Amino acid sequence: MGVPPAPKSSFRRKFCGCLFQIPEHAPKLYSDKAFDFIDWQWHQNAAWRHRLEPFVFFVVASGFVWQLAHVFMISIFCGLYHIYLVPMGWPNFSSQLNSAFGMVTTCLSLLLVFRTNSSYSRWWEARIVWGSVVNLSRNYARQMMIWAPPERTHVARLGARWMAAAVHVMRAHLRAKHTGRVTQEAGHLLTLDEFAWLAQWRSAPQGAAHVLSWAAANLGVHYQREQVLQELVNTFINDLGMCERILRTPMPTAYTRHTSRFVLVYITMCPLFLWSLLQWATPVVTLMIAFLLLGTENIGVQIEEPFRVLPLDTICNTIENSIRDMEKRHYGSCSMDELRQGDARKLAWTYD
């Protein structure tokens, strides 16, 4: 999990940079999509699920190049050892380690099951949190529009627009390493002044929540209705905090590193365990076993950080489109469209 320290020498730095470089395809390879009815039909089709995808296979395998090369070379050396040295009286480890192979396999299975289940729990918790974000966003925008007095329509529309922007800001905040500047994700929903103001916040989602709370306080409704709106903003902040907890607190790195090393030791020893049974088929079979085990372990690592995997782009766009639709149906027009057309001065939030 930890990033290896940069070597001092130029050669070692380049060598390690090439060896441990994260493939460019990795984020897209493990990202999920939001399913519709057609996707579910394909997903439930056994023939479709079990189809061969050679391109995906080679793309995934490219992330394990040095591990697979290591296992292949060990398999070749193991074959040469048994062909040339065992007949000369050297010990035949392949026939002596079968019982140990079963014990080690059981231990590794338990480690991988716990690793994958724990990562899945983090992924599922993140999805539940974003389900809450979807619900509160729609409720906040709807109640702002329904409850707003006629003279406070501009406040309701501002609150709805900022609610649509807030989810994009939250998504970018959780993907800051992958998407660059946080506030750029919501640039199409904010004026230049609003964008500049939000960029000053250390936590941009908190800045967006500040505007949402301000809009609820200035809507001019009964305090009980204002309290309902403020509670939705509080839920937004709580959801943000839960996501930040997941993001900043990985599984214990000692467990992750130990599992990874256990897998590497296991696939290194596989040729010794399998030679007596498979002979020169051992390199090919060992490569297949190594690929499957490394892939299973890597899935657990990838979904451990769920915000790169979950379809947050689709979720945020769904929220934005829902709010756009509500505003168009309620007011006959959408302030987000007017913002694009340059009519931003009357829509902007005045924070001075």
For the chain, percent of residues with pLDDT exceeding 70: 84
123: which 2 tokens?
A: 């992924």
* Mean pLDDT, range 229-246, rounded to an integer: 98
In this predicted model, what pLDDT tens digit does every residue of 78-131 receive, in sequence order? Answer: 989 888 887 887 877 766 666 777 788 889 999 999 999 999 999 999 999 999
> Chain-wide mean pLDDT for the chain?
85
Task: Using the predicted structure, report yes or no on whether residue 257 has a pLDDT greater than 90.
Answer: yes
| Measured CA distances, 37 to 40, 44, 296, 313, 314 (Å) | 5, 11, 28, 19, 15
Question: What's this model's pTM, rounded to 2 decimal places?
Answer: 0.84
DSSP string covering 76-130: HHHHHIIIIIGGGT---GGGT-HHHHHHHHHHHHHHHHHHHHHHHHHHHHHHHHH
Percent of the chain surpassing pLDDT 90 = 54
Going by the DSSP 8-state scheme, the letter that residue 148 receives in this structure is -
Has residue 349 got a pLDDT over 60? no
pLDDT of residue 215: 95
Tell me if 315 sits within 8 A of 137, measured CB to CB.
no
Q: What would the DSSP string read from start to end of 265-300?
A: HHHHHHHHHHHHHHGGGHHHHHHHHHHHHHHHHHHH
Both tokens of 41, joined, read 């039909």
User: How confident is the model over 290-329, as pLDDT tens digits?
Assistant: 999 999 999 999 999 999 999 999 999 999 999 999 999 9
**How buried is residue 303: exposed, middle or buried, by Cβ count under 10 Å (0-12/13-18/19+)?**
buried
